[in-house]
Structure 1
Amino acid sequence: MTAWSVRVRGTVQGVGFRPFVHRVATGLSLDGEVRNVGGDVLIDVGGPEAAVTRLVKALRDQAPPAARVVEVIVAPAEGAPAPGFRVTPSGDADLTGGFAGLPADLATCDDCLHELFDPGDRRFRYPFINCTNCGPRATIVDALPYDRERTAMAGFTLCRRCAAEYCDPSDRRFHAEPVACPACGPRLTWHAGKRSAYADQALTAAAGAIGVGRIVAVKGLGGYQLICDATDPSVVERLRHRKQRPRKPFAVMVVDLGAAHAVADLCPEGWTMLTSPARPIVLLPARAGSPVAAAVAPGVDRVGLFLPYTPLHHLLLRTVGRPLVVTSGNRADEPIAIGDADAATRLAGIADGFLSHDRPIRARYDDSVVHIAAGTARMLRRARGYAPGSLPLPVPARRPVLAVGAQLKHTFTLARGDRALVGPHGGDLADADTLAAFRATVAQLSRLHRFEPEVVAHDLHPDYLSTAYAREAAAGPDLIGVQHHHAHVVSCAAEHGVDGPFLGIAYDGLGYGDDGRLWGGELLLATYTGFRRLGRFGAAPLPGGEAAVRRPARTALGYLYGGEFPLPQGSPPALCRRMPAAEQTVVRRMIERRVNSPYASSTGRFLDVAASLLGICDDNGYEGEAAILLESAAHRATGSPAPLPWRLTEVDGLWVYDWSGTLGDLLSRHDGGEPAADLALAVHRAVVDVTVELCGRAAESTGVRVVCLSGGCMQNRILAGSLPPALRAAGLTALLNRDVPAGDGGISYGQAVVAAARLAGGG
């Protein structure tokens, strides 16, 4: 006989872990108890040594699907437990050594879905049905440990039947904290002008409005959503106008996999992600003949598709019977509305009606987005279903670190001990509202985990609002500045546990270099603590700065008339015909006089220029549109185009991509009638060839053969799919981001890794 005390760390609360432990322990006839303590699960167990050993092994090997066991710590107990095995009330704990495993929200499970549509079940058509295997988690938590009285459900007293389920260890709803039913749980409301309805009639009214071409604001898990008929081009255009989102694609929700097949081409990886408990939006190739209106994703060859993840979504889709646009409840660049009064004010000019309910939302979580690149699902936006899960730190943080991220696609990271907790996607830090939302989310997660930062890591760009936030904290925590592209490549290296120096390819739009210039096409020799720049893309002016980023045609003139490498021919006639003469004159004067025309060595801007010169996109309606349309065009290539010329030259000790031959030949061949799609593919292949040559030279001179590929341009499927095999053929190991975005959404994780490594004084 033996008695052990077992502590399980990780995502082990709100995922049915205590009922699982109870089932296994009673099945083995063990004595003891299980309880939540802080963010962990603590088990006191006694019995035959072989049976206790089997229990401990099961904690790792048979944990519930949504659990994520990071560590199982076993120690001898002081005495044998009382007979029987029990689930006991939660306790408190010191969290200074790590993070509580705050569970992410989980999609409706098959068992609950069956009950939802079973006329004989007491929860038939109840929009808030859930159990220990599904339902809201992170979006309803007030405090930890995760128990009902510390959630937004505290105000809903369990009825007799729900209480019996909640207290029965053999029931699927045993300690399912959001458990409820029509008799005791939240209730729907519908408001449209002076008309109101409640419960099932509210749902019917909302579905009816969507069915006749109205836009409905729906209170979701982590914020309000705007929903309309995805097959009706007129309502989609109306939503674009009201939401001030002229061209950026919308996501589409479909009722099941059969409907998904009608909208997109599904691969095994896409099928797996669509049906996972996280239920992210998955970018998939659009199917010809899809019922979805072209206005949903204008000009691109992919559709953002997802399946219902709440009972309310299931009910709406079954009732309307069509694919639905489901997008964030906000105007462009604003934070998502989560409060009922805020939504009523901010969405009044967008929505024709409001489908709400009386369960409060405690934390703002947008939908996650993934895509399939190089045969693997990779994160583009890390939010609901994944955040706020923690990731490993390759070098433990000796002091608590808050990494505040960049400006676009913003996230932040809390780092303590050997874990980094990446907060949810917060959008672009564009104004006071988004900055306030960032502050509120930092405060909420810090409070939950009793986190007090002693160090703040930030980007070097002096004008980022995240940097300003860090400077405000300068009187308290120490500051550590981290170069933008170093953070990018470190995020990739840390994901893969790279040990020792590595080569980093950081291809993105713009980031502030340590020389005060704008970078974006970089080859670095890096460790977790620092880097040395080895190569870059050729630089060119951005006439008007941010105005050039928004208008690739301006950037194209910068490359043509003021670039580091002169092009061999004059003005391209097609581009000049599309640009007003007055604009051309002003832009050329800015370039010649170097007025508000910062130079940038950027892969993203180079791809923008190619898109403009090929007549694919002269204006970015959303961040990265030109590069996205260039990639879409490349996928339509009908043949194997001849390579575009390129060369590397040496400038100030760096290998530099001279793109003059590439762009000059691109213009000549386009003027000669070669299809834009074929040339778009040739541009991508040129970037791949240049990158392989850069890395080959770097490997030869440094002896380092591991290459970490990151930055927003590595979210391009052609680059992500072509570079790893090309680098492997050159004898190099190539790694891509997977669990954190390669774009700016992964910057905060990279900053946290760098700060932790510098604090430890190691690489």
Structure 2
Amino acid sequence: MTGRIRVRVEGVVQGVGFRPFVHELAGRYGLSGFVGNDSEGVFAEAEGDPSALARFVDDLGGRAPALAVVERVTAEPRPPLGEPGFRIVPSDGAAPPAALVSPDTATCADCLDELADPGGRRHRHAFTNCTQCGPRFTIVKAVPYDRPATTMAGFAMCAACAGEYGDPADRRFHAQPVCCPACGPALRLLRPGGAAIVEEAVGAAAGLLRDGAIVAVKGLGGYHLAAVACDERAVAALRARKHREEKPFAVMAADLAGARELVRPDAAGAALLTAPSRPIVLLPRRAGAPVAAAVAPGNRELGVLLPYTPLHHLLLAELGGPIVLTSGNVSDEPIVHRDEDALERLSGIADAFLTHDRPIHIRTDDSVVRAFRGRPYPLRRSRGLVPSPVRVPWEFPRPVLACGGELKNTFCVAKGNRAFPSHHIGDLENHETLRSYTAGIEHFCGLFGVRPEVVVHDLHPEYLSTKYALEREDAELLGVQHHHAHIAACLADNGEAGPVIGVAFDGLGYGDDGTLWGGEFLIADLAGYRRAGHLEAVPMPGGAAAVREPWRMAAAYLDAAYGDDRPELEVVRRNRERWPAVVAMARSGVNAPATSSAGRLFDAVAAIAGVRDRAGYEGQAAIELEQRADPGERGAYPVTVTGGATLVLKGTDLVRGAVDDVRAGAGAGVVSARFHNGLARSVVETARTLRERSGLETVALSGGVFQNMLLLERVVAGLEDGGFRVLVHARVPANDGGISLGQAVIAAARDRAGA
């Protein structure tokens, strides 16, 4: 007997060697037919013995290539045609786009072997790739994923590469970016004015780096700025030229062994470092790590990543040691990805440019993750992870565009049961970032065939993402409260609908009462929420100035805690000239909005403990307060929680505890630990009270403050000891990079509820 089936495979199945895999599988089972790409994924028809057809269908999902993510395989019978052989047919792009695009993937072991083989034709070829590795998202312009729809379209394959491309037995069979030195992109080393340095590019660039130069290096998603990591003068020069005074730099090591000389990864950390996505991984710094003090001043951790392109491997091999590799931009601007922009915008920073002529279609920063209890805990979801969708167990009744927030912005498009959070856009504070944001939205909508019928935005009227949404006239608008979006993002991340007790701690977000929230306890599901508790509100003197100058929050909290009986503290003496005016501003409420922000409470305690009065980057005071905490200290400042319909946690109690210890001579390590422990215990106690009131046993933790691993561990441990089930993030960040996903699933839930 002979049967024939029509097969549809959905998921991340383009750009991962899936058609060659299907071709090989059909040959193994003696089947005839064809396979191809279209706008929805992969389609195939197979004919042969029915038992062989059944095994064929099973293996499509069970034995798929390593980079494939098979979401669904469907098969339906067709009449046999008696055709011979099995072939790959041309792609069909007639239908609206629905196929998934693979993220960019680190160079595989086979390609690295070729890179190092002096007898091979790809020896030291910086663009070596195959179906299992290389550029994908950053070069794709449209689907189906074929070479003409990528930035490799301008590089005609030579006869040898075309032979590999057409050979079913070759691992480059239908590898769209396939190339070699004869037909692929070429490296160049340029001076700031654009003049070529006529030497072997990688070796000359390594020589410049050894001599203390800063070199701009073109990566997959944009330019990086590189300096030798142990060269104190070079790293200091990079900081000065980039106007990045204190924020830590990432360091690239040649391999896992090299990374272990810098940091102490556990099994989960090592797995993250070597994952195909090759993110920056935050790990405990090894004592005596061979890096300059200016790489990560005052930080117990280092952000480390491994090479993910052949060019990185070649450069690190030449140098024999780690390099600083930071985004190619001036502080607060988006990463530069176009060659002409790099030469213009980075010429005041870089001494040379190691570049090439393969265009980058979409700029994409490196992803940043850490491990929490053996699972990924993303801080920035971008290159290597995007555009993989977040699949949810509910339908989006209408296509959605969620516009995200203002800081660490991402947007999200969604349809069917898939949400596509974007790559990291950054802080929407200037024209260039906003242009990147709008271009990214257009690209995602086109790539995934989303024509939004609902556009979701934050409630804050001054966010540029909100203004962008309000200017659109082609869809229904929906405003979503910031912290509800955080909790919804955590729910979606875990595939749950709630209700839960949601704890959303962050810097700030616009509340539905017009004040600035940020220390919130919500009873929430996807469709709605109720504010069940919060940190007490205090003035934020100077508004945004208080974020840059944490001592202002110390002034506000000390005034709230003590009034005119405020004790004399070093933080007061350090800021004596401006202190009375700031206190007066707080008391008057003029330019001093009330906030329940957990982030601003951290700022206040950091200033009181003598950690930091002024912040060079967002969250610096809180980060350094965590870094200073004594891990062996188990004491905790008590916190009063007042009753009523809405619980209020007295942050001033934590401040009083810190003040008493500082006056008694306790160091910042003790103060920090007792503050963290006291806040964690108050979260657990508040959750217990809310459980008594609501009957809910699950707590979801979200918001940027929960990037603090000490607080997160203390809160999770306390909740679990109290019998709670705890949800934390694993697929999108807890910070504002995740709220676009939350906005999207809220819109869908309200659609399903008919709200």
Offset at residue 735 of structure 1 (A): 0.6
Please, which runs of 5 or more residues in structure 2 have no aligned partner?
A: none
Offset at residue 39 of structure 1 (A): 3.8
SS at match of 2:440: helix
SS at match of 2:138: helix
Offset at residue 198 of structure 1 (A): 7.0
SS at match of 1:164: helix
Partner of 1:700: 692
Amino acid at match of 1:642: G
In structure 2, the CA distance between the partners of 1:752 and 1:78, relative to structure 1 (3 Å rule), is: farther
SS at match of 2:578: helix
CA contact (8 A) 2:38 2:99 kept: no
CA contact (8 A) 1:102 1:389 kept: yes
* 2:710 counterpart of 1:718: yes
Offset at residue 664 of structure 1 (A): 1.0
Match of 1:570 among 556, 559, 566: 566
CA contact (8 A) 1:189 1:196 kept: no
Matches within 5 A, 1:162-241: 162-193=161-192, 196-197=195-196, 201-241=200-240
* 2:641 counterpart of 1:648: yes
In structure 2, the CA distance between the partners of 1:589 and 1:500, relative to structure 1 (3 Å rule), is: closer
Residue deviations 1:376-419, cap 9 Å, x none?
A: 22111000111011112343111111000000111000011111
Q: Distance in 2 between matches of 1:594 and 1:715?
A: 31
In structure 2, the CA distance between the partners of 1:492 and 1:195, relative to structure 1 (3 Å rule), is: closer
CA contact (8 A) 2:3 2:80 kept: no
* 2:527 counterpart of 1:529: yes
CA contact (8 A) 2:506 2:735 kept: yes
Partner of 1:556: 554
Match of 1:620 among 594, 597, 615: 615
Q: Distance in 1 between matches of 2:562 and 2:729?
A: 35
Residue deviations 1:116-149, cap 9 Å, x none?
A: 0111111101100011110000111121100111
Matches within 5 A, 1:376-415: 376-415=375-414
Matches within 5 A, 1:626-645: 626-634=621-629, 636-637=630-631, 639-645=632-638
In structure 2, the CA distance between the partners of 1:229 and 1:731, relative to structure 1 (3 Å rule), is: same
In structure 2, the CA distance between the partners of 1:135 and 1:441, relative to structure 1 (3 Å rule), is: same
Amino acid at match of 2:528: G
Amino acid at match of 1:715: Q
Q: Distance in 2 between matches of 1:33 and 1:84?
A: 8
Partner of 2:75: 74
Q: Distance in 2 between matches of 1:298 and 1:669?
A: 26
CA contact (8 A) 2:636 2:673 kept: no
Match of 2:518 among 517, 520, 525: 520
Q: Distance in 1 between matches of 2:192 and 2:710?
A: 49
In structure 2, the CA distance between the partners of 1:81 and 1:333, relative to structure 1 (3 Å rule), is: farther
Partner of 1:5: 6
CA contact (8 A) 2:555 2:583 kept: yes
In structure 2, the CA distance between the partners of 1:761 and 1:201, relative to structure 1 (3 Å rule), is: same
CA contact (8 A) 1:502 1:708 kept: yes
Q: Distance in 2 between matches of 1:404 and 1:518?
A: 20
Q: Distance in 2 between matches of 1:700 and 1:306?
A: 45
Amino acid at match of 1:533: R
CA contact (8 A) 1:374 1:717 kept: no
* 2:477 counterpart of 1:479: yes
Amino acid at match of 1:629: E
Residue deviations 1:185-232, cap 9 Å, x none?
A: 100111115785479712222111111111111111111111111111
CA contact (8 A) 2:497 2:526 kept: no
Amino acid at match of 1:42: F
In structure 2, the CA distance between the partners of 1:704 and 1:199, relative to structure 1 (3 Å rule), is: farther
Q: CA RMSD, aligned part only?
A: 1.6
Offset at residue 113 of structure 1 (A): 0.5
Amino acid at match of 1:650: G
Residue deviations 1:485-521, cap 9 Å, x none?
A: 0000111111212244111110111000111110000
CA contact (8 A) 2:402 2:743 kept: yes
CA contact (8 A) 1:255 1:318 kept: yes
Q: Distance in 2 between matches of 1:735 and 1:149?
A: 43
Amino acid at match of 1:640: E
SS at match of 1:140: coil
Q: Distance in 1 between matches of 2:170 and 2:751?
A: 48
Offset at residue 762 of structure 1 (A): 6.5
* 2:554 counterpart of 1:592: no
CA contact (8 A) 2:611 2:621 kept: yes
Partner of 1:681: 673
Q: Distance in 1 between matches of 2:37 and 2:285?
A: 45
CA contact (8 A) 1:369 1:380 kept: yes
CA contact (8 A) 1:45 1:81 kept: no
SS at match of 1:138: coil
CA contact (8 A) 1:285 1:303 kept: yes
Offset at residue 569 of structure 1 (A): 5.2
CA contact (8 A) 2:558 2:655 kept: no
Offset at residue 759 of structure 1 (A): 1.3
CA contact (8 A) 1:710 1:742 kept: yes
SS at match of 1:209: helix
Residue deviations 1:254-285, cap 9 Å, x none?
A: 00111111000010001101111000000000
Q: Distance in 1 between matches of 2:317 and 2:754?
A: 56
Q: Distance in 1 between matches of 2:623 and 2:376?
A: 18
Query: Which piece of structure 1 moves more, 369-378 or 7-16?
Result: 369-378
TM-score (norm 2): 0.98
In structure 2, the CA distance between the partners of 1:61 and 1:93, relative to structure 1 (3 Å rule), is: farther
Q: Distance in 2 between matches of 1:142 and 1:152?
A: 7
CA contact (8 A) 1:413 1:748 kept: yes
Offset at residue 641 of structure 1 (A): 4.2
CA contact (8 A) 2:8 2:74 kept: yes
Residue deviations 1:631-682, cap 9 Å, x none?
A: 1111x44x4243212110136x211111223211211112212221122111
CA contact (8 A) 2:367 2:381 kept: yes
Alignment: residue pair count = 754
CA contact (8 A) 1:153 1:178 kept: yes
CA contact (8 A) 2:3 2:79 kept: no
Offset at residue 450 of structure 1 (A): 2.7
Residue deviations 1:539-564, cap 9 Å, x none?
A: 11111000001111011101111x3x
Matches within 5 A, 1:105-120: 105-120=104-119
Residue deviations 1:315-369, cap 9 Å, x none?
A: 1111111211111111111111111111111111111111111111111111000
Q: Distance in 1 between matches of 2:146 and 2:243?
A: 41
In structure 2, the CA distance between the partners of 1:165 and 1:686, relative to structure 1 (3 Å rule), is: same
Q: Distance in 2 between matches of 1:197 and 1:126?
A: 19
